[in-house]
Amino acid sequence: MKEQEQITSISLKQYAEESYLNYAMYVILDRALPNIGDGLKPVQRRILYAMSELGLDAGSKYKKSARTVGDVIGKFHPHGDGAAYEAMVLMAQNFSFKYPFVDGQGNWGSQDDPKSFAAMRYTESKLTKFANLLISELKSGTVDWQPNFDGSLLEPVIFPAKLPSILLNGTSGIAVGMATDIPSHNINEIIDATVHLIDNPKSQLVDLLKIINGPDFSNNSPIIASKDELNEIYSTGKGGFKAQAQWAQDKNQIVINALPYQASGSKILEQIADQMLKKKIPMVVDLTDEGDHKEPVRLVITLKSNRVNAEDVMNHLFASTDLQKNYRVNMNLISLKGGPKVFSLADLLKEWLVFRKETVTRKLEHRLDQVNDRLHILEGLLIVYLDLDKVIKIIRESDEPKKDIITAFKLSDIQANAILEIRLRQLAKLEQIKLEQERDALGAEQTRY
């Protein structure tokens, strides 16, 4: 008689709570929030890793984007191809990412309509040089690896980023019960601030804000934020600021040549045209979009005459159109402990430096292990070079040459294998000199590590 199966009864309330909590944690940790170490969400990391495995580095030829997306969803990210391709497109758009990770060829959308990119079968792509800062040390023992979704392959848990990437490109994401909004920053300012923290670990926020002037988007639109607003953003990790269009007056025309981050030129033209129809801005008589490939943003507003105050017109348009936009800041990241946390600027950079120090230490330890292993083999080779005739005799006459070599020369198993694998033509005096030179060089490297 079969044993009765154990059936556990739980209330619907308890089941719903546990299931929703599991789902919430999955969205927070595995989809919506970036990791402080490399500043990437899992889908972005998988795209870049798949591209590096395909050999699509900055110096290689372009390949069809469909090839990359196929590898991403087939090997690492079992979700829709559309979602994976859209994440890839964002990393290629220089108006979305200040320092793009993907170098795209073809139609990758425009600032006016970011979703107007061509299908993945038409576009081609490879990695940018900037992406190398994230993945160049990946095979140097720097990070942990984990099985992919079906356990057939390994993928990196995180990239060994050489820079605090999250502050350079920024990000936004909506999880369950929390969100993240981090603006991009200037690479030189972030590097200088990070180096300053290495040299002066006890530096305060006031010292860092002498180096970092504030957010810095991929276009030239000026940031509008007071010192108090910036201080609140960087001390608490939360706050807000504004960005305005960049403009200049040319006789009776206002020329706008930079829009706020993620503002649409066509939508702004519609907003201004609507006000012209409703007679809300009688001082404006014409409106044209003169943008082209050389100058993508060039909106021209023609005024009634030179006597109209252009600044008053622009102040009105800033208040009533997307020529001025508000931006939230919420520096919510997955910390090194593995959970979400809102960081101040100083805490974020200090925690990233802990990550970087661990990465560099692991890289040096990995290389030291390689040096030690090679030196061990070289020591064995140099021992047998002192009596090559004896080695050759053992190999020719012995039934168990490996065992006899170990006994005769007091070598390890690894050293004996290396000797048995050596080619006959390498058993020359010149090779002994080369081995001694290699041993000396590696010995110096070992001492340095």
* Residue 234 annotated as catalytic: no
Closest C-alpha among 317, 422, 334 to residue 378 = 422
- For the chain, how big is the Rg over CA atoms in Å? 30
Count of C-beta atoms within a 10 Å radius of residue 432 = 16
Bridge partners of 250?
253
From the number of C-beta atoms within 10 Å of its C-beta (0-12, 13-18, 19+), residue 16 rates as exposed
The pair phi, psi for residue 92, each rounded to 5°, is -105, -20
- First vs last C-alpha separation in the chain: 67
Measured CA to CA in angstroms, residue 86 lies from 81, 108, 179, 198, 405 at distances of 8, 10, 20, 37, 60
In sequence order, the 6+-apart residues with CB closer than 8 A to the CB of 246 are: 220, 221, 222, 256, 257, 258
User: Is residue 223 within 8 Å of residue 214, measured between CB atoms?
Assistant: yes
Please tell me the distance from the alpha carbon of residue 166 to that of residue 37, in angstroms, as a whole number.
8
Closest C-alpha among 146, 218, 138 to residue 184 = 218
Which listed residue (15, 23, 122, 449) is catalytic? 122
Q: What SS3 class is residue 300?
A: strand
Q: What residues are annotated to the active site?
A: 122
